[in-house]
Amino acid sequence: MTKLLSMNRRHFLQASAAGALTLAPGLLPGRAIAQNALTVGFIYVGPKDDYGYNQAHAEGAAALKALPGVTIVEEENVPETVDVQKTMESMINLDGATLIFPTSFGYFDPHMLAMAAKYPDIQFRHCGGLWQEGQNATNTGSYFGYIFQGQYLNGVAAGYTSKSKKIGFVAAKPIPQVLQNINAFLLGARSVDPSITCQVIFTGEWSLAVKEAEATNALIDQGADVITCHVDSPKVVVETAAGRGAFVCGYHANQSPLAPEKYLTGAEWAWGNVYTGFAKKAQAGEKLGNFVRGGLKDGFVKMSPLGPAVPAEGRTKFDATFAEMMTGKFSVFKGPIKDNKGNVVVAADKSYAEDAIELESMGYLVEGIVGSTA
């Protein structure tokens, strides 16, 4: 069951006396109910139907409705400010949530960490790679997926579809996870044709519709005929690119309804599997992982169906690569690899497993990418 408050949680807290909402730990709602009953809170930085990051998490949260004894509470459009602390606090004190997922990157520090210190008996898990053992509380943690595998497969589809041999990437910020995706996209395309190049434009924020449209148009003006992205909502990028006649590869969720003829495939999250795993452990009283990761073979990531524009040869290559990834033996980052400044970043005899610590701190763009991390 999903609880939705008619009054905004943050406004409720502001309108209520602080003492009335600060309950003794033993009096928190839901503490006296059956051990396997669980209330889980989900917080989104944007709308749940954004065809992107927030929708993927909301679809994952919806999967918990099938679990007996689990209640979910949600709030969308919560900014990465003290407002998210108020939302978390109200979920704990008003709804009895004992497991909270603040899903946006900027919720972690200081907001989630502050709430975790205040409520040490509540479990908080954040989407991303920011949790550090020995530095962050044990009632906090992080989870993420190796979605760069999906972007590599996006690149394979792009490589077989591009006529100009130029592909484009609209990105928010040059953090390691974004750089992994940009690099993997080109490496996938270059597995088809080593002459393919990629241009990236960073917008500077996770959600800037005007800049995303401008970046997409600029990439197409410079010859890119396949576009993908890493922003919160790919909707603007997909619709703008398709409107210009370019092909698109999706990200976060399935955007094929937005451009059915131009959509090649997409790297999607499968958060339902992840959230179900956390919830079942919490219901059973088991320890939750603090640093949880997985890829395609683990059910953390999935791919959109191939679109009609991908040729038969491309489908064969795509399926073969996907199958190899599912065995866990395929390495996206396999040497020799140079960065776009000519430095060797992966030696010829080196390949990285998906969970390699080197990938968690990636700070370069590979050879063939026009753009800068600065």
**Domain spans, the chain:** 38-145+271-298, 147-268+302-370
pLDDT of residue 372: 76
pLDDT of residue 374: 55
Cα separations in angstroms, 22 against 7, 72, 92, 93, 160: 19, 22, 10, 7, 59
Q: Encoding tokens for residue 119?
A: 């409520």
CATH domain 38-145+271-298 topology: Rossmann fold (3.40.50)
CATH match of 147-268+302-370 with 3.30.56.10? no
CA distance 140 to 118: 12
Q: Encoding tokens for residue 65?
A: 């409705």
Instruction: Collapse the DSSP code of 123 into the 3-class scheme (helix H, G, I; strand E, B; otherwise coil) and give the result.
Output: strand
CA distance 159 to 179: 19
pLDDT of residue 33: 39
- DSSP β-ladder status, 123-124 and 99-102: parallel
With beta carbons less than 8 A apart as the criterion, state whether 299 and 273 touch.
yes
pLDDT of residue 18: 38
Please name the amino acid found at residue 367. E
Report the chain's terminal Cα–Cα distance, integer Å.
46
CA distance 60 to 58: 5
Tell me, what DSSP letter sits at residue 118?
H
For the beta carbon of residue 26, count every other beta carbon within 10 angstroms: 7
Q: Encoding tokens for residue 192?
A: 């088809």
pLDDT of residue 38: 98
Mean pLDDT of all residues in 212-240: 98
pLDDT of residue 36: 84
Matching fold, domains 38-145+271-298 and 147-268+302-370: yes
CA distance 294 to 303: 15
Mean pLDDT of all residues in 303-331: 97
Mean pLDDT of all residues in 109-119: 98
pLDDT of residue 116: 98
pLDDT at 25 over 60: no
With beta carbons less than 8 A apart as the criterion, state whether 145 and 121 touch.
no
pLDDT of residue 101: 98
In this prediction the pTM is 0.88
pLDDT of residue 8: 54
Q: What is the pLDDT confidence band of residue 31, given thresholds at 50, 70 and 90?
A: very low
